[in-house]
Structure 1
Amino acid sequence: MSSSFTLSAPIIAYLTEVNEAEHPALTACRVETANHPKAMMQISAEQGAFMSFLIRQMDVRLAVEVGVFTGYSALVTALALRQNAGPGGKLFAFDISEEFTDLAKTYWQQAGVESTIDLRIAPAGDSLTTLASEGYAGRIDFMFVDADKPGYHDYYEKGLTLLRTGGVMLFDNMLWSGSVADQSDQSVETVALRELAAHAKADPRVRAVMVAIGDGLMLVTKL
């Protein structure tokens, strides 16, 4: 989601100004995607800055992304991985659209991080299962999910299998433009997000917190 749910445009502009400067390839990707018919699917610059900070603070070496779109969040992650681990970091990026990810590759190449990103075009649930079978269960440091909302519960459970103890999953759009607080909204997407939030809160395997960054981020740490 490109806009921040609780913040005005001047505040967003101020945050962009005072945060660490974007890599030029990030700026180019964000600007081009802003003109895309589905621009609302891209995360905001301040959300990207938060993710980069978190990834570097955690010294993440192995990461997963579910839902790539035009590649902005994957580029944020890959650049942070390069700072942490040089060429040894790896991002497994899952999407079902070659159209969107072909654009993403352009910016990954501009930033010189294409070798850090293992892009797999297939249903994300299948890709997560495959990754576990390849020996990555219990090894992933960080996972970002910004994809189909009815699939979030499946990605949560499969992500927990992949995550190491102390690893973190981020789920985007958890406020869904405020719809989650409107009990009259019983759409499939809104109900799925409410159910995931309740599930994570009650799950003894994790510690979870939701924050109003972007369109709502839920952070889940595996205990």
Structure 2
Amino acid sequence: MATSADEGQLLSLLIKLINAKKTMEIGVYTGYSLLCTALALPSDGKVLALDISREYYEVGLPMIEKAGVAHKIDFREGQALPLLDQLIQDENNKGTFDFIFVDADKNNYLNYHKRVIDLVKVGGLIGYDNTLWTGSVALPDDAPMLEFIRGYRGYVIEVNKYLAQDSRIEICQLAVGDGITLCRRIS
């Protein structure tokens, strides 16, 4: 699922409101949210973009280049969890990201959270995409739904429950796009 236009606009505004300079995106897909992030950053801002496939990044690269923001992007290909573990090993990375957007494999959202919470600064934001999962998170378990939706539904419910009780963050879940949960790190 791609980031919706209204969600892209929201992310851009949030990045500007918090004066973000150092951001991260986990899961690039077509590059739309990456473009929105790069456009919202100041000229010296950076976004670390992680994706398992360089092909996904290259889909949006022509628009990123046309917009003149390719210099703000540090793309790294590979599984996000090992890349995050490498970042965490360097103490200088902890608490340095202003904004992190997660829109990758839903079955690893909780694993991502357990890592990115250490990388985002106190007062920084983490955004999780697709946290309403086409509304399936509010349906009974036996409700009819596509197998793709049913397959990841439990993981999305799991991360929603975890975020709701995580005392290190304040959360706001919005019905924008397919649902976005914003987490402001408070400790």
User: What does residue 213 of structure 1 align with?
Assistant: 176
| Alpha-carbon shift at residue 130 of structure 1 (Å) | 1.8
| Aligned 8 A contact 1:55 1:81 in 2 | yes
User: What does residue 17 of structure 1 align with?
Assistant: none
1:45 matched to 2:2? The reply is no
What do residues 63-116 of structure 1 show as CA deviations (whole Å, max 9, x unaligned)? 00011011110010011113xxx2x21100000112221122211111111110
| Aligned 8 A contact 1:209 1:218 in 2 | yes
1:152 matched to 2:109? The reply is yes
| Alpha-carbon shift at residue 189 of structure 1 (Å) | 1.1
**Quick one: distance in 1 between partners of 2:65 and 2:82?**
27
Over 3 Å counting, the alpha-carbon distance change for 1:162 and 1:179 in structure 2 is same
Q: Give, as a single letter, the amino acid of the residue that structure 2 aligns with 1:175.
A: L
1:116 is aligned, of 55, 58, 72, to 72
**Quick one: distance in 1 between partners of 2:161 and 2:49?**
27
**Quick one: distance in 1 between partners of 2:120 and 2:151?**
27
| Aligned 8 A contact 1:150 1:188 in 2 | no
**Quick one: distance in 1 between partners of 2:93 and 2:68?**
25
User: What does residue 58 of structure 1 align with?
Assistant: 18
- What SS does structure 1 have at the residue aligned with 2:41? helix
**Quick one: distance in 1 between partners of 2:163 and 2:82?**
22
Question: Aligned pairs, how many?
Answer: 179
**Quick one: distance in 2 between partners of 1:165 and 1:43?**
26
For residues 108-187 of structure 1, what are the structure 2 equivalents within 5 Å? 108-134=64-90, 135-184=92-141, 187=150
Q: Give, as a single letter, the amino acid of the residue that structure 2 aligns with 1:190.
A: R
| Alpha-carbon shift at residue 157 of structure 1 (Å) | 1.1
Q: Normalization by structure 2: what TM-score?
A: 0.91
User: Larger deviation: 163-172 or 188-197?
Assistant: 188-197
Q: Which has the higher helix share?
A: 1
Identity of aligned residues (%): 37
User: What does residue 54 of structure 2 align with?
Assistant: 98
Structure 2 residues without counterparts, runs of 5 or longer: 143-148
1:191 matched to 2:140? The reply is no
Question: RMSD value over aligned CA atoms?
Answer: 1.4
**Quick one: distance in 2 between partners of 1:77 and 1:177?**
24
Structure 1 residues without counterparts, runs of 5 or longer: 1-40
1:73 matched to 2:37? The reply is no
User: What does residue 146 of structure 2 align with?
Assistant: none
Q: Normalization by structure 1: what TM-score?
A: 0.77
Q: Which has the higher strand share?
A: 2
| Alpha-carbon shift at residue 119 of structure 1 (Å) | 0.3
**Quick one: distance in 1 between partners of 2:128 and 2:6?**
16
**Quick one: distance in 1 between partners of 2:73 and 2:55?**
17
- What SS does structure 2 have at the residue aligned with 1:169? strand
Q: Give, as a single letter, the amino acid of the residue that structure 1 aligns with 2:52.
A: I
